[in-house]
Chains A and B, each alone.
Chain A
């Protein structure tokens, strides 16, 4: 942690993914890719990193004859994301206050 920031959530693309997962119960890989506008490989890498620390759950399942990947934020992940957002807001306010009028 640094200034209340969670270093796992710090990479910009990973933070976007977590932000999207925080707004849904579960979502398909292809939808995250479209909304966050990242490649398959980058999304896979970040989802794996989130899953590794227990922030996200990734599940594969067959639907309409195709293998699909679903992701969701765990309770631990939701808590970490909320704390990270609070820290970002605090830092942004401090940065704004530091700018002379």
Chain B
């Protein structure tokens, strides 16, 4: 039985808990891809006329809710990207890709709310890039949980 008063025992118990948690922290590829598609929708929305832009933003927001609900149903929990400090670089990459994508589609079209065919390849690049960033985030989060376990 662990000594309740020893801080080292308390820290060791937390490390064991985080180690058990790490074994559950896996998300299927389609979940990472959903994050990529979501960001791509935000990018494409900027290349559409105002009413369509608003509609696509609404679809993207609804998709965010559906993704969170699907996570809860599948895993019994929801983990947003900001929970992990180690995962911040992956979040920064995903945000940079999205903002870069928005800048690219508006530049190709000559401004927001104007369609240009370049929005399609740009959105594909953003979708793939954010999917990879999401996979990277999972690795960083896993490493964070396991490193603390081994500390």
Contacts and interface: CB of A to CB of B under 8 A. Distances in A.
Interface of A: 10-12, 15-16, 19-20, 23-28, 30-31, 35-37, 63-64, 70, 85, 87-89, 91-92, 95-96
Contact of B11 (A10, A31, A92): A92
Interface stretch (B33-41, B44-52, B70-78): B70-78
B8 A35 contact: no
Interface residues of B, number: 26
A interface secondary structure, majority: helix
24 contacts: A11-B4, A12-B10, A16-B14, A16-B17, A19-B14, A19-B18, A20-B17, A20-B18, A23-B79, A23-B83, A25-B77, A25-B80, A26-B77, A26-B78, A28-B72, A28-B76, A31-B24, A31-B76, A35-B20, A63-B72, A88-B10, A89-B7, A92-B8, A95-B7
